Chains A and B, each alone.
Chain A
Amino acid sequence: MNGARLALIALVGALFLLPLALSDFWIFIAIEVLAFALYAISFNLLMGYGGMLSFGHAAFFGVGAYAGGLLVKKAGLTSLAAFALVMPGAMIAAALVAAAIGFFSVRRSGIYFAMLTFAFQMLLYTVALKATGLTGGDDGLTGLRPPGALAAPANYYYFALLWVLPSVYLLHRLVRSPFGLTLRALRNNPLRVQYSGVDIRSHQLITFVLAGAFAGLAGALFAFSSGNVFPGWLNWTASATPIVMAVLGGVQSFLGPALGAAVYVLLEVTISGSTEYWPLFMGIIIMLLVLVMPRGLAGLLDRRRP
Chain B
Amino acid sequence: MTAADDVLAVDSVAKRFGGVQALGGVTLQVRRGEFHAIIGPNGAGKSTFFNTLTGLITPDSGSVIFEGRNLAGFAPHQRVRLGMGRTFQITRVFPDLSLLENVQVALLAHDRLTLSPWRDASGHRPADARALLERVGLAVPDYQPASTLAHGDRKRLELAITLAGEPRLLLLDEPTAGMAAQERLESIQMVHKVAGELGLSCLFTEHDMAVVFSVASRISVLVQGKLLITGQPEEVRASEQVQRVYLGEAVIEQGAG
Q: Which residues on A are within 8 Å of B, measured CB to CB?
A: 173-174, 176-182, 184-185, 187-189, 191-200, 203, 206
**Which of A179, A193, A194 contacts B116 (CB under 8 A)?**
A179
B161 touches A196 (CB 8 A): yes
Establish whether residues A196 and B115, one from each chain, have CB atoms under 8 Å apart when the complex forms: no
B residues in contact with A197, CB < 8 Å: 77, 80-81, 106, 109-110, 165
B117 contacts A196, C-beta separation under 8 Å: no
Whole-angstrom CA separation of A285 from B122 in the bound complex = 39
Which residues of B pack against A, CB within 8 Å?
54, 75-77, 80-81, 85-86, 88, 92-97, 101-102, 104-106, 108-110, 113-122, 124, 158, 161-162, 164-165
What A residues does B76 contact at CB under 8 A? 194-195
Known interface pairs A182-B108, A194-B76; 6 further A-B residue pairs with C-beta atoms within 8 A, sorted by A's residue number: A176-B121, A178-B121, A182-B114, A188-B93, A196-B105, A206-B115
Residues of B near A188 (CB, < 8 A) are 93-97
Picked from B86, B101, B117, B118, the residue with its CB within 8 Å of the CB of A195 is B86
In the bound complex, residues from chain B placing their C-beta under 8 Å from that of A173 are: 117-118
Q: Would A200 and B77 be within 8 Å (CB), given that A189-B92, A191-B92, A192-B94 are in contact?
A: yes
Across the two chains, which residue of chain A brings its CB closest to B167? A197
Question: Contact: B165 with A179, CB < 8 Å?
Answer: no
CB distance from B152 to the nearest CB of A (A): 18
B88 close to A177 (CB less than 8 A): no
Smallest beta-carbon distance B90→chain A, Å: 10
If A179-B117, A191-B88, A193-B105 touch, whether A199 touches B75 (CB-CB below 8 Å) is yes
Query: Are B77 and A194 closer than 8 Å at their CB atoms?
Result: yes
A178 lies within 8 A of B97 (CB): no
- A196 in contact with B106 given A188-B94, A188-B95, A189-B92 (CB within 8 Å): yes
Closest 4 CB pairs of A and B: A192-B92, A181-B121, A197-B80, A188-B94
Query: Chain A residue with minimal CB distance to B94?
Result: A188
Contact assessment for B54 and A185 in the assembled complex, using a CB-CB cutoff below 8 Å? no
Q: Are A184 and B97 in contact (CB under 8 A)?
A: yes
Contact between chains at A181 and B105 (CB < 8 Å): yes
Q: Does the CB pair B77–A203 fall under 8 Å?
A: no
CA A306 – CA B170 in complex, angstroms? Answer: 38
Considering residues B75, B81, B85, B92, which has the most beta carbons from chain A within 10 angstroms of its beta carbon?
A: B92
Task: Decide: A196 near B109, CB < 8 A? Known: A177-B117, A203-B114.
Answer: yes
Report yes or no: B94 in contact with A189, Cβ–Cβ below 8 A. Answer: yes
Q: Is chain A's interface secondary structure helix, strand, loop, or mixed overall?
A: helix
Decide if B116 touches A178 in the complex (CB within 8 Å): yes
Q: Which residues of B contact A194 (CB under 8 A)?
A: 76-77, 80
How many Å lie between the Cα of A82 and that of B121 in the bound state?
38
Contacts of A184 in B (CB 8 A): 94, 96-97
In the assembled complex, which residues on chain B have CB atoms less than 8 Å from the CB atom of A176?
120-122
- Distance between A184 CB and nearest chain B CB, rounded to angstroms: 6
Expressed in whole angstroms, the Cα–Cα distance for A179 and B109 within the complex equals 10
CB pair B115 A203 closer than 8 Å: yes
Chain B residues with Cβ below 8 Å from A187 are 96
In the bound assembly, the distance between CA atoms of A176 and B93 in angstroms comes to: 19
Q: How far is the CA of A198 from the CA of B88 in the complex (A)?
A: 17
Bound complex: CA A187 to CA B114 (Å)? 15
Ordered by A's residue number, 19 sampled pairs between the chains whose C-beta atoms are within 8 Å are A173-B117, A173-B118, A176-B120, A177-B119, A178-B124, A180-B121, A181-B108, A184-B97, A188-B96, A192-B93, A194-B77, A195-B54, A196-B106, A196-B165, A197-B80, A197-B165, A198-B77, A203-B114, A206-B115
Q: Which residue of B lies closest to A170 (CB)?
A: B117
Determine if B101 and A181 form an interchain contact, defined as CB atoms under 8 angstroms apart: yes
Which residue of A is nearest B112, CB measured? A197
Closest Cβ of chain A to B89, distance in Å, is 12
C-alpha gap A182/B116 in the complex (Å): 10
Residues of A within 8 A of B113 (CB): 178
Measured CA separation A138–B211 after assembly (Å): 70
State which of B54, B86, B105 has its C-beta within 8 Å of the C-beta of A182.
B105
How distant is the Cα of A198 from the Cα of B113 in the complex, in angstroms? 10
Contacts of B118 in A (CB 8 A): 173-174, 177
Instruction: Report which residue of A174, A177, A193, A196 has the largest number of chain B beta carbons within 10 angstroms of its beta carbon.
Output: A196
Q: Determine whether the beta carbon of B105 is less than 8 Å from that of A177.
A: no
- B156 CB to nearest chain A CB (Å): 14
Chain A residue contacts of B95, Cβ below 8 A: 188
- Residues of A within 8 Å of B93, CB to CB, are 188-189, 192
Q: Are A177 and B164 in contact (CB under 8 A)?
A: no
A194 to B55, alpha carbons, bound, how many Å? 11
Q: In the assembled complex, how far is the CB of residue B23 from the closest CB belonging to chain A, in whole angstroms?
A: 21
A173 CA / B116 CA spacing, docked (Å): 10
Give the chain B neighbours of A185 by CB distance below 8 A: 94, 97, 101-102, 105
A153 to B122, CA, bound (A): 41
Q: How far is the CA of A180 from the CA of B122 in the complex (A)?
A: 11
Chain B: CB-nearest residue to A180 = B121
Assembled-state Cα–Cα distance A255/B136 (Å): 37
Residues from chain A with Cβ under 8 Å of B80 in the complex: 194-197
Chain A residues closer than 8 Å to B124, beta-carbon distance: 178
